[in-house]
Amino acid sequence: MNILTGSLNGKTALVTGGSRGIGAAIVRRLAADGATVAFTYASSPDRAQALEAEVEAAGGRALAIQADSADPAAVERSVAETVQAFGRIDILVNNAGILVHKPLDDTLLEDYDRIMAVNVRAQFVAIQAVQRQMGEGGRIINIGSMVADRAGGPGLTLYAMSKGAVAALTRGLARDLGPRGITVNNVQPGPTETEIVSDEAVRATLRTMIPVGRMGRDSEIAGLVAWLAGPESAYVNGAALTIDGGFVA
């Protein structure tokens, strides 16, 4: 990891679900751009601590915080711990999320409750806590999904519903927080080469459905997030930015 632009020098970010996949790529990129980065993880402390050490070895500052996003108190505590450690939060990236992919008849009410708790409620709780710490120039970036616009297949009803809620949450908050100089935007990734899609046969099928002929890279999602976190995006507010290689085109 090398320092890139320094565009986030002096900024502090909190990334939820930041120990692996897209979240870890976001942590690395924000740190490379100069931000101090706290990130949460639900399990696998070894992986989280390794990422923290990686950032610090490259000359950055990072803090791994154990917090299950399904627990509102844990989400609020992660915000408090970030402020206690670094004195401020300028950037919030709501990345933590889960996937439920089941036939409708096999879907349980518990699945509904869990996906809404992690994918939607946790974002609201984090934003409500963070916005009290933010001033002019604050950036809130929610990670949604292109399934908010096109489910793409059966079994994704709950996931699509939750990501549609993220898109609507973003639009409402852009109105609430924009007058304070805080922007709120929604990044909607398409199929990306992370652990969530580990089956190579599934990946091969997805590649045939994407106009650019490949799945996305976590570093590409992180690049878009970093731009939204930086000074050049100041007039972007309430947007849903789809990054999917043309999958929903």
Answer for the pair 84, 73: CB distance below 8 angstroms, yes or no.
no
pTM: 0.95
Q: Give the per-residue pLDDT at 177.
A: 98
Per-residue pLDDT at 108: 97
Collapsed DSSP state (helix, strand, coil) of residue 213 = coil
Catalytic residue among 41, 112, 159, 235: 159
The mean pLDDT of 140-152, rounded to a whole number, is 95
What's residue 2's pLDDT?
54
Q: Which of 126, 140, 141 is nearest to 182 (CA)?
A: 140
Q: Which of 244, 130, 144 is nearest to 183 (CA)?
A: 130
Q: Is the pLDDT of residue 174 over 60?
A: yes
pLDDT given for residue 194 in this prediction: 81
Q: In the prediction, which pLDDT does 179 show?
A: 97
Mean pLDDT value across residues 47-76: 97
> In the structure, what pLDDT confidence band is assigned to residue 8 with cuts at 50, 70 and 90?
very high
Average pLDDT score over residue span 65-83: 98
**134 confidence band (pLDDT: 50, 70, 90):** very high
Predicted local distance difference test score (pLDDT) of residue 204? 87
CA–chain centroid gap for 42, Å, is 14
Q: How far is CA 39 from CA 49, 96, 196, in A?
A: 11, 10, 19
pLDDT digit string (tens) for 40-56? 999 989 999 999 999 99
CB 96, CB 69: distance < 8 Å: yes
Q: Is the pLDDT of residue 21 over 90?
A: yes
The whole-number average pLDDT for the span 193-208 is 81
Least confident of 5-19, 171-185, 201-215, 226-240: 201-215
Q: Is 112 a catalytic residue?
A: no
Confidence of residue 200 (pLDDT cuts 50, 70, 90): confident
Model confidence at 206, in pLDDT bands (50, 70, 90)? confident
Q: What is the pLDDT of residue 1?
A: 52
- Residue 195: band (very low, low, confident or very high) from pLDDT cuts 50, 70, 90: confident
**Which residues have CB under 8 Å from 106's CB, separation 6+?**
none
CA distances to 70, 94, 189 from 143, in Å: 16, 6, 8
Q: How confident is the model at residue 81 (pLDDT cuts 50, 70, 90)?
A: very high
Q: Is the pLDDT of residue 3 over 60?
A: no
Q: Which domains does the chain have, with CATH numbers?
A: 12-190+218-242 (3.40.50.720)
Looking at residue 107, its pLDDT comes to: 95
